[in-house]
Amino acid sequence: MPSLDPPQRRLIVLSLGAAVLFAAIFAPIGSVFWTYEYTADTIEPTDPDLDSWLYWPEKTVSCVSHCRLASTVKEGGPRVVPSSTYWNAKEFDREYTLIVFPDSDPAFYKPNVTHYENSTVRVALTPVSNATALELASTPASDFPQGVQRIVREGTVHTSRQLTGIDRWGRTRAIVSDDGTYYHHHNRTSRRSMEGAPFMVRMALFFTGVGLCYWAGRID
């Protein structure tokens, strides 16, 4: 096998050094030497505990021992009430898109409100399916920070640093929707022993690449 002449050896070593430097700067090392792993739990309309999961989001109101007006409408049908009664009944506030009656069948209702000019309000409840309830209670992933979007779109995320925006998901207990799939919770696993490892690996690759490039310049 013929030996390589100096220009060929120089090109090979220089190319190798450049490749190592490129890896040191751009390679997703944190995905290999990860400190944090994030996953998301999906939820389906057929989940037997669906009413429990939809109990918590900010867009829903759950009627257990309160919601007198909503309970009356649920049992007796739509009614027209004074505006003061409507405003005192928080369950019909426009911020809520779903009313949940746990352990009831059906458990999920969409509030309907019509305001009249004589200071009265018609309030009604429409029973909705589990699938529609999930849709009404959910918040699109696009409304959340990039960290939450990565988790629901990639399924599992490995990173060397904590994702931003995750606290908001935990604080609001939101149902996050993305492309027809719903997520009710995220999980985080940490490996403290790997903390700082990506930086050390990058430094090792960087100096290796620099050394190879230096060596290539001295081949003659």
Evaluate whether residue 165 is within a structural domain.
Answer: no
pLDDT band at 200 (very low <50, low <70, confident <90, very high): low
Q: What is the pLDDT of residues 106-149, one digit of tens each?
A: 889 999 999 998 999 999 999 999 999 999 999 999 999 998 99
Q: What is the pLDDT of residues 79-109, one digit of tens each?
A: 999 999 999 888 898 889 999 998 787 889 9
pLDDT band at 1 (very low <50, low <70, confident <90, very high): very low
At residue 32, the pLDDT reads: 46
Evaluate whether residue 145 is within a structural domain.
Answer: no
- Choosing from 120, 135, 150, the residue where a domain stops is 135
Q: Are residues 95 and 68 in the same domain?
A: yes
Q: Are residues 75 and 109 in the same domain?
A: yes
- Choosing from 107, 135, 163, the residue where a domain stops is 135
Domain residue limits at 22: 1-35+193-220
- Residue percentage of the chain with pLDDT more than 70: 72
Evaluate whether residue 182 is within a structural domain.
Answer: no
> In the chain, how many domains are there?
2
At residue 31, the pLDDT reads: 45
Mean pLDDT over all residues of the chain?
80
- Choosing from 110, 135, 160, the residue where a domain stops is 135
Q: Are residues 103 and 59 in the same domain?
A: yes
pTM reported for the whole predicted model: 0.68
Q: Are residues 58 and 108 in the same domain?
A: yes
pLDDT band at 177 (very low <50, low <70, confident <90, very high): very high
Q: Are residues 79 and 128 in the same domain?
A: yes
Evaluate whether residue 185 is within a structural domain.
Answer: no
At residue 103, the pLDDT reads: 74
Evaluate whether residue 117 is within a structural domain.
Answer: yes
Evaluate whether residue 18 is within a structural domain.
Answer: yes
Tell which residue, 93, 97, 95, 91, has the closest CA to residue 110: 97
CA atoms within 13 A on the CB side of 73: 28
Evaluate whether residue 217 is within a structural domain.
Answer: yes
Distance, in Å, from the CA atom of 75 to the CA atom of 125, rounded to the nearest integer, reads 10
Evaluate whether residue 177 is within a structural domain.
Answer: no
Which value, in Å, is the radius of gyration of the alpha carbons in the chain?
29
At residue 192, the pLDDT reads: 52
At residue 108, the pLDDT reads: 95
